[in-house]
Amino acid sequence: MNVHDTLVVGGGIGGLAAALALARAGRRTLVVEQAPRFAEIGAGLQLGPNAMRAFDRLGVLGPVLDTAVHPDRAVIRDAVTGEELTVLDLGPSFRARYGYPYVVAHRHDVLSVLIDACRAEPGIELRTGRTAVDVREGNEHAEVTFADGESLAARLLVGADGLRSQVRRLIDQEPPRFSGHVAYRGTSVRSRLGAGLAPDDVTLWIGPGIHLMQYPVRGGELYNQVAVYERPAGALEPRGDVEEFRAAFSVAHPSVREYVALIDPHRDWPVHDRDPLPTWTTAHSVLLGDAAHAMLQYLGQGACQALEDAVALAEAVSDHPHSQDRALKRYEERRIAHASRCQTVARPWGDLWHTQDPTLLALRNRVFRLRRPDDYSDLDWLYAAPTEDAA
């Protein structure tokens, strides 16, 4: 059996970013993707300054910025009353503080930038239609078996294969955790949303057991919408229910109900995450992105953290070219505590959005009303450059 230098399982944003970074660090890299073509689930993508910093390190910042929309503000509204609760100014003061902008984009557009960059890199090979069904760790390499019976071995196996990662099973056998939340996604032509929606805002509507996230993509021609509701307490089946979905949003402001009515209620995405792991590595394998730290969407950090993983992994490999063990441990040291914090913070943040407790809801809204648009103090831990990077 031929042994590959580096094998990346998973051709999403994290996997392609890792391949690009590792190839530029001198690793010959094969990327395998189970789908028949490279594609991303869902239309919209929020990219904070930490993600843009990673794109800059990858050498693709310009093309990503060209595909993105640069919103002026992020606005939180009460989903029942329609009241504007708080605004986050995303303008010059935000960019000056973090060195990069906050942008929103279509997932396919961002993925296309990474695919083009990978195809231009002579050290990268891309293959689709490869479904991993088993992963084993050997003395000298890791081995992946695919649905058609083919096996591939690699000195370094990168698990970028998402929530239900096969590579993760080398470390953790537990299933993903269903949050009780179900998402419905869709894009709408801007003109169908009416004149009341600001064209350059990211708008979040929060209410009892529900929220609706909206933002422009494709130059503002389309709006990405994600509507989420909580299933009743005790509901174990991680599937949405059309009648539950409609009933949950029946209490919402008329504008919210109009927006949600544009989303297909028959396509649902149960929301899962994972508990933090104490390690992401074995002798010959390493996890990144959702395979390592699947998190709820309430910080907008899923793709952002995967991109930071990719850059950190390649830098660790470059710093320790003759010791894979030291490189992988260095990667863990740089990334595991921060990504785990994102996992744990996202859960109560989502609970706060969805609270049905009248006292907590009133207090939440009061605190939001009091904050200034240029108060970024709660975001520094997410968006500021790590100390060693800023040096």
Among all residues, which ones are annotated catalytic? 215
The sign one gets for the Cα dihedral 88, 91, 92, 95 is: positive
Only one residue has tokens 């939440």, namely: 364
Q: Are the C-beta atoms of 26 and 122 separated by less than 8 Å?
A: no
Q: Are the C-beta atoms of 182 and 231 separated by less than 8 Å?
A: yes
Only one residue has tokens 């094969």, namely: 30
- 385 token code pair: 């450059």
Interior CA angle at 190 toward 102 and 300, to 5°?
A: 30
End-to-end C-alpha distance for the chain, whole angstroms:
44
Rounded to whole angstroms, the Cα distance separating 71 from 90 reads 7
Rounded to whole angstroms, the Cα distance separating 369 from 59 reads 40
Rounded to whole angstroms, the Cα distance separating 329 from 88 reads 37
Q: Give the residue from 293, 320, 318, 296 showing the smallest Cα distance to 307.
A: 293
Only one residue has tokens 């609760």, namely: 85
